[in-house]
Structure 1
Amino acid sequence: MTSSTAGSAASSTSPPLPAAVLWDMDGTLVDTEPLWLRAETDLVTEHGGRWTLEDGLSLVGNPLIVSGRTIVERTGIRLSPQQVVDALLVRMVAAVRSAPPFRPGARELLEECVAAGVPAALVTMSYADLAGAVVDALPPGTFTTVVTGDAVVHGKPHPEPFLTAAARLGVDPSRCVALEDSVPGVASAEAAGCRVVAVPLHVPLDDAPGRSRVRDLRRIGLADLAHVAAGRTIDDADPAGVVVS
């Protein structure tokens, strides 16, 4: 077991870099969950319903149509699930284009991947309009491919989104590292055979064999992800640095 500072895993022999880094969007790349909660609350209230923080957190990581269906079922508002999704997306795209809320360290880690020639994919259950608003806030070519919730048949926790991303990149999922903040997202990536770094934000993510966890993307770099891709795990519980085991 060794310890490293952020961005540089301690090892005399560095393992090969990941074949690709697969990024979740909401809650991982950008902290949009407060924006989603505000949009959900405003929409439900406008239609005579009630929506709580607990309700909003229960939707984290879900396919949007599942969230739309849940909102209708819980609140009884007179909209179809698709109408709920469409209305939420209008609000979310406007909010993200105004001020994309990137998580600390996310852009720096992306820049490191680009500089090293490691392809990055965005794998999100948000739809193309919202994903595009986030991607447009980054330098062109940051993401080699983008897989959105409206482009897959089965959303997270099904493995299809991550398998689709790996297939588009022409890489083995087992050589990819997925960054995720939600229970459905982690399940999806692990089912696809990816190595997972869980980055909890608004919901807790349990420890599990072979699963890495960090509190903050500023704590890790591409060298750490190389260790994860090689089958090791990382944890940043130690204040001195990331622990590789």
Structure 2
Amino acid sequence: MTDDAPPSWGVLSDMDGTLLDTENTWLRVVERFVDDHDGADAAGLAAASEGLDLDRAAALLRTRLGLDDTHEAVAHDLDRRALAAYAESVTWRPGAPELLRALVDAEVPLALVTSSPRHWVERFTRSVDLSAFRVSVTADDTTRTKPAPDPYLDGAAALGLDAGRCVVLEDSLVGAWSAVSAGCATVVVGDPDRSLPPGVHRVRSLNEVDVRMLRTIAHTP
């Protein structure tokens, strides 16, 4: 691909739990929040928060726990707790840095599409190199976050591509629905036994994913 030729396909990737080992940290933050507010089924509420942006998670917990605190106060507390937890360590998921390097070497354009706020992404760049991504779409950049299709539609548009020419890497059900609703081919990393939208490709680890596989899924010669 020359510098002036448009890309024929691209990759849009979720961040937490897909590329970075941060999802479990977030779930532990939610569990501790529930425990600190004398709530029951901390693990269940944490699971229900998987893939949600900060505002949606705050709304869920405020409702389910019957909290008197304002939505803004709950979101602020979760944000504070999460940043403190993330300060300890942010690391790659297995196979993630190798796949990103291979995609960059193959000149495949990349967009980061995450439900995390931009200041979390900026915090993570202190620990890991996210420069492979040409653009990033965060929870701050779209009116409707995952599972709405908007984040992935915006990510594709930022790369100058139709969503149907993009392959999405995801790990959550919320994210998978967002990607499928946007019209993207979708690869879900992780537990293969969960109920997922029809037509998605399942892998246990990014170690199973390479450029040739993604190009085939994108139906690109």
Q: TM-score range, shorter-chain basis?
A: 0.7 to 0.9
Cα distance in 1 between the residues matched to 2:120 and 2:58: 16
Please state how far the C-alpha of 1:174 moved relative to its aligned partner. 1.0
1:24 to 14, 18, 29: 14
Summarize deviations over 1:37-90 as a string: whole Å, max 9, x none.
Answer: 221232333344445111110121123212111101111233222322222222
**8 Å CA contact 1:198, 1:205 repeated in 2:** no
| Matched residue, 1:46 | 36
Q: Distance in 2 between matches of 1:215 and 1:26?
A: 16
How many residues align structurally? 215
Deviation at residue 201 of structure 1 after TM alignment: 4.4
> Does residue 62 of structure 2 align to residue 69 of structure 1?
no
Q: Is the 8 A contact 2:35 2:42 kept in 1?
A: no
Unaligned runs of 5+ in 2: 1-6
State how far apart, in whole Å, the 1-side matches of 2:108 and 2:76 are.
34
* Structure 1 residues not aligned, in runs of 5+: 1-16, 232-245
* C-alpha distance in 1 between matches for 2:207 and 2:81: 29
User: Contact between 1:152 and 1:160, CA under 8 Å: does it hold in 2?
Assistant: yes
Match of 2:194 among 188, 191, 204: 204
Q: 2:25 aligns with which of 30, 35, 56?
A: 35
Q: Given the superposition, is the C-alpha separation of residues 36 and 203 from structure 1 closer, same or farther in structure 2, using an over 3 Å criterion?
A: farther
Tell me the distance in 2 between the aligned counterparts of 1:51 and 1:26: 23
Q: Does 1:227 align with 2:178?
A: no
The residue number in structure 1 matching 2:4 is: none
Aligned-residue offset at 1:157: 1.3
2:176 and 2:196 in contact (8 A); partners too: no
**For residues 179-218 of structure 1, what are the structure 2 equivalents within 5 Å?**
179-201=169-191, 204-206=194-196, 208-209=198-199, 211-218=200-207
1:105 pairs, out of 77, 91, 95, with: 95
The offset of 1:143, in angstroms, is: 1.3
Where 1:150 maps in the other structure, the secondary structure is: coil
Q: Which has the higher contact order (CA 8 A, sep 6+)?
A: 1
Contact 2:31 2:45 in 1 (8 A): no
Does structure 2 conserve the Cα–Cα contact (< 8 Å) formed by 1:123 and 1:162?
yes
Per the alignment, do residues 68 and 163 of structure 1 end up closer, same or farther by CA in structure 2, a change over 3 Å counting? Answer: same
SS at match of 1:213: strand
Match of 2:140 among 150, 153, 159: 150
Q: What does residue 68 of structure 2 align with?
A: 78
Please give the residue correspondences for 1:111-150 in structure 2 after superposition, counting only pairs within 5 Å.
111-139=101-129, 141-150=131-140
Larger displacement relative to structure 2 (129-138 or 214-223): 129-138
Superposed displacement of residue 148, structure 1: 0.8
Please state whether the residue corresponding to 1:79 is helix, strand or coil. Answer: coil
* 1:79–1:22 distance in 2 versus 1, CA, 3 Å: same
The one-letter code of the counterpart of 1:217 is L
Alpha-carbon contact 1:181-1:198 (below 8 Å) kept: yes
Identity of aligned residues (%): 36
TM-superposed deviation, 1:144? 1.0
Q: How does the TM-score come out when normalised to structure 2?
A: 0.87
The superposition leaves residues 189-225 of structure 1 with CA deviations (integer Å, 9 ceiling, x where unpaired) of 111111101113498243623x211111001111111
Structure 1 residues 99 and 18, CA gap change in structure 2 (3 angstroms): farther
SS in 2 for 1:179: strand
User: Aligned pair in 2 of structure 1 residues 32, 202: CA closer, same or farther (>3 Å)?
Assistant: farther
Change (3 A) 1:18 1:199: farther
Q: Which whole-Å CA distance do the structure 2 matches of 1:109 and 1:182 have between them?
A: 19
